[in-house]
């Protein structure tokens, strides 16, 4: 074949273009994640050293576990960053099905119970929380479905199709593991991805109005029922009442919230200093998970709390920039799914700690204690980095 044949010329042109194109490396995103992880480890040791000594005889118990999971998560992140994210489109259905099966496994002897709910799988040497796996599976599957639908997502049928698998997974999480907060996050992820994919906003306004109206009626009904009969229908009803009047439930449902508010209030502007928290000495339940932000406020004050929130805002902005500059719809949707996951979880965690919404178990991304959460969050960031590498920059002439 002649060197001037069309086929060889085409290959040569493609090779030349490849040499002129450098994969983009988002160091900004990388350093923001590293900053959050290091901050989280420092705060975790400061917050849990007393609890670790009392419960396990080791002040570094929680820190050491989290450090191991963080190191493993970083390894997964680097692998995912160099893994072609387009392949996940073919893996979307298997990953989703595996995540749903993991929820069902909590009904088997593998299910591990704590605080009255079975939300984990016990594999002897480590525990896994299926709800975290579902979040990843739903991101992959929803991005794949919307990408395949294309402009058909603008129709009623096309709009509903992505909601079906996410709704099934969310319902299973809610009913089987009694984890309503994770079910809400799963649905929020899908709605965030649909919001970006659809050019119209009326369905979102209608659904938001429906949710607000339904929530308002639920709160009103709960309060009226308790006022008339003196009892509530279930533990979620008690949480509503504790949220509205925490002092009346200071000995039970509102105890954690009140102790967290005491921690926040006592921190002042600049806090008591790293390691100087008083509320961490057995006063705040689950301080290493849901309530870690309250101890951050106590030790670092309002200044530290605002700094943490600004770092999260910068991270979310960076993810939005990557998504908006990604030409590939599937890749952009993956980034939007990860961005929505992190944003919703941060908002819910801080809202719970400050008693803005009723108490529900939501961890603070990259900072709260939790092996499954940190592994999968870093895997998601790795996928985002893989998408960002496809942006590319031209070599200087």
- Whether pLDDT at 358 is above 60: yes
- Do 93 and 156 have their domain in common? yes
Give domain status of residue 261, yes or no: yes
Dihedral, 329, 87, 74, 191 alpha carbons, nearest 10: 40
Q: What is the mean pLDDT of the chain?
A: 87
- Whether pLDDT at 212 is above 50: yes
Q: Which of 48-57, 180-189, 254-263, 352-361 has the highest mean pLDDT?
A: 180-189
Range of the domain at 383: 25-82+234-391
- Whether pLDDT at 224 is above 50: yes
Give domain status of residue 323, yes or no: yes
CA distances from 300 to 54, 266, 293, 304, 366 (A): 24, 11, 10, 5, 18
- Do 281 and 368 have their domain in common? yes
- Do 100 and 57 have their domain in common? no
The confidence band for 131, taking pLDDT boundaries of 50, 70 and 90, is very high
- Do 276 and 131 have their domain in common? no
Q: Please report the DSSP string for 146-186 in residue order.
A: HHHHGGGGGSHHHHHTTHHHHHHHHHHHHHHS--HHHHHHH
- Residue 216 exposed, middle or buried by CB count within 10 Å (0-12, 13-18, 19+): exposed
The confidence band for 314, taking pLDDT boundaries of 50, 70 and 90, is very high
Give domain status of residue 226, yes or no: no
Last residue of a domain, one of 146, 179, 200: 200
Give domain status of residue 248, yes or no: yes
Question: Which pair of tokens denotes residue 340?
Answer: 């929505």
Q: pLDDT at position 20, please?
A: 54
> To the nearest 5 percent, what fractions of the chain are helix, strand and coil?
70, 5, 25
Give domain status of residue 288, yes or no: yes
- 232 versus 178: the higher-pLDDT residue is 178
- Do 68 and 127 have their domain in common? no
Residue 351: other Cβ atoms inside 10 A:
14
Identify which of 331, 332, 333, 345 has the alpha carbon closest to the alpha carbon of residue 377.
345
The C-alpha atoms of residue 254 and residue 238 are separated, in whole angstroms, by 9
- Whether pLDDT at 240 is above 90: no
- Whether pLDDT at 273 is above 50: yes
- Average pLDDT of 31-49? 95
Give domain status of residue 224, yes or no: no
Give domain status of residue 6, yes or no: no
- Do 273 and 238 have their domain in common? yes
- Average pLDDT of 142-164? 92
- 230 versus 120: the higher-pLDDT residue is 120
Give domain status of residue 225, yes or no: no
Last residue of a domain, one of 200, 225, 254: 200
Q: pLDDT at position 2, please?
A: 41
- Average pLDDT of 158-163? 92
- Whether pLDDT at 123 is above 90: no
- Do 331 and 304 have their domain in common? yes
pLDDT tens column, 318-347: 999 999 998 889 999 999 999 999 999 999
- 283 versus 178: the higher-pLDDT residue is 178
- Whether pLDDT at 351 is above 90: yes
Identify which of 348, 337, 333, 324 has the alpha carbon closest to the alpha carbon of residue 136.
337
Q: pLDDT at position 318, please?
A: 95
The C-alpha atoms of residue 350 and residue 362 are separated, in whole angstroms, by 9
**Quick one: CA dihedral 40, 41, 46, 49, positive or negative?**
positive
- Residue 55 exposed, middle or buried by CB count within 10 Å (0-12, 13-18, 19+): exposed
Number of domains, the chain: 2
- Do 243 and 327 have their domain in common? yes
SS3 of 294-337: the string is HHHHHHHHHHHHHHHHHHHHHHHHHHHHHHHCCCCHHHHHHHHH
CA distances from 294 to 23, 254, 264, 290 (A): 41, 15, 5, 9
Instruction: Answer yes or no: are the C-beta atoms of 145 and 167 closer than 8 Å.
Output: no
- Whether pLDDT at 286 is above 50: yes
Helix (H, G, I), strand (E, B) or coil at 214: helix
Helix (H, G, I), strand (E, B) or coil at 356: coil
- Average pLDDT of 94-100? 95
Strand (E) or helix (H) holding 127: strand 127-128
Instruction: Answer yes or no: are the C-beta atoms of 112 and 127 closer than 8 Å.
Output: yes
The confidence band for 202, taking pLDDT boundaries of 50, 70 and 90, is confident
- Average pLDDT of 109-122? 81
- Average pLDDT of 231-252? 75
- Average pLDDT of 42-71? 92
Question: Which pair of tokens denotes residue 42?
Answer: 């420092």
In the sheet with 111-114, reading across from the earlier edge strand, the strands are 111-114, 117-122, 127-128
- Do 387 and 239 have their domain in common? yes
- Average pLDDT of 91-116? 90
The C-alpha atoms of residue 219 and residue 243 are separated, in whole angstroms, by 10
Claim: this prediction has a pTM higher than 0.85: yes
- Do 191 and 124 have their domain in common? yes
Crossing angle of the two packed helices 371-389 and 329-353, in degrees rounded to 10: 140
Q: Percent of the chain at pLDDT above 70?
A: 89
- Do 161 and 189 have their domain in common? yes
- Do 60 and 139 have their domain in common? no
Last residue of a domain, one of 200, 222, 247: 200
């Amino acid at each position: 074949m002649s060197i001037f044949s069309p086929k060889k010329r085409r290959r040569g042109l493609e090779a030349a273009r490849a040499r002129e194109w450098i994969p983009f490396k988002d160091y900004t995103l990388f350093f923001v994640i590293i900053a959050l992880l290091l901050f989280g480890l420092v705060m975790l040791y400061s917050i849990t050293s007393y609890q670790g000594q009392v419960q396990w005889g080791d002040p570094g118990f929680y820190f050491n576990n989290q450090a191991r999971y963080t190191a493993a998560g970083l390894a997964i992140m680097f692998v995912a960053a160099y893994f072609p994210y387009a392949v996940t489109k073919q893996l979307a259905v298997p990953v989703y099905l595996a995540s749903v099966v993991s929820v069902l496994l909590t009904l088997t002897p593998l299910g591990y119970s704590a605080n009255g709910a079975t939300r984990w799988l016990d594999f002897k040497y480590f525990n896994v929380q299926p709800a975290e796996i579902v979040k990843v599976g739903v991101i992959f599957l929803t991005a794949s479905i919307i990408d395949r639908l294309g402009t058909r997502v603008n129709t009623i049928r096309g709009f509903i199709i992505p909601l079906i698998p996410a709704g099934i997974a969310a319902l299973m999480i809610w009913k089987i593991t009694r984890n309503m907060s994770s079910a809400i996050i799963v649905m929020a992820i899908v709605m965030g991805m649909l919001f970006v994919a659809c050019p119209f906003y009326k369905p979102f306004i209608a659904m938001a109005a429906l949710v607000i109206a339904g929530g308002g009626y639920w709160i009103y009904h709960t309060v009226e029922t308790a006022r008339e009969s003196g009892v509530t229908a279930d533990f979620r009803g008690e949480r509503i009442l504790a949220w509205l009047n925490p002092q009346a439930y200071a000995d039970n449902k509102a105890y954690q919230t009140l102790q967290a508010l005491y921690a926040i209030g006592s921190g002042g502007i600049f806090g008591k200093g790293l390691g100087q928290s008083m509320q961490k000495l057995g006063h705040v339940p689950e301080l290493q998970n849901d309530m870690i932000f309250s101890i951050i406020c106590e030790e670092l004050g309002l200044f530290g709390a605002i700094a943490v929130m600004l770092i999260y805002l910068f991270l979310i902005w960076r993810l939005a920039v990557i998504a908006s500059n990604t030409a590939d719809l599937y890749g952009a949707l993956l980034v939007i799914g990860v961005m929505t996951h992190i944003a919703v979880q941060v908002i819910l965690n801080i809202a719970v700690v400050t008693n803005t919404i009723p108490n529900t178990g939501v961890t603070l991304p990259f900072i709260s204690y939790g092996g499954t959460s940190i592994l999968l969050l870093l895997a998601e960031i790795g996928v985002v980095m893989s998408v960002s590498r496809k942006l590319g920059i031209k070599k200087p002439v």
